[in-house]
Amino acid sequence: MALTMLTHVLSTYIDILFCLIIGMLSIKTILNNNFIGRVFSLLKAVVTSFCASAIFILPFVEQEYTGIFSQPAPMKVSFYASPLFNVVKSMLNNNLFGNYNWGGDEAFTVGFIGLVVLVVGGIVFSHFSKLGECQECCVKKETSPA
């Protein structure tokens, strides 16, 4: 988490949100299996993560409280958004560059391979059992020695 924070702060917020969602989805398992030990391990992980990322957090907090920063000019993001049909069309055309002329109907996409990954990923994900969906996506199962 500390390395993610040093590279991209928004990704850190997304990671934290993802961990909270997974924690809420698995709350029943957490409560039934060694609750005190899991909470203690979580606290150790939080303290370690905070200490490892203190090189970023402490100067950031100091600048937020002592620095005077003006608000950037507002930008209407929806002006640059592309309709879903244009996004799919650009994926099928394998157009990676998107709206390079800002006047066409092209959209920024990951190309045809991205469309294939989305479709195949959705098909494979739908075959997971309801109990194993979170585990398969978030935690690699440990294999026990035979």
Q: Judge if pTM exceeds 0.85.
A: no
* Residue scoring higher pLDDT (143 or 106): 106
Q: Beta-strand (E) ranges in the chain?
A: none
- With residue 63 as reference, give the H or E element that holds it: helix 54-66
Contact in structure between 141 and 128 (CB atoms under 8 Å): no
Which SS3 state, helix, strand or coil, does residue 28 take? Answer: helix
Query: Which residues 6+ apart lie within 8 Å of 140 measured at CB?
Result: none
How does pLDDT run across 5-63, given as a tens digit for each residue?
Answer: 888 888 888 888 998 998 888 888 888 888 888 889 989 998 998 899 898 889 988 98
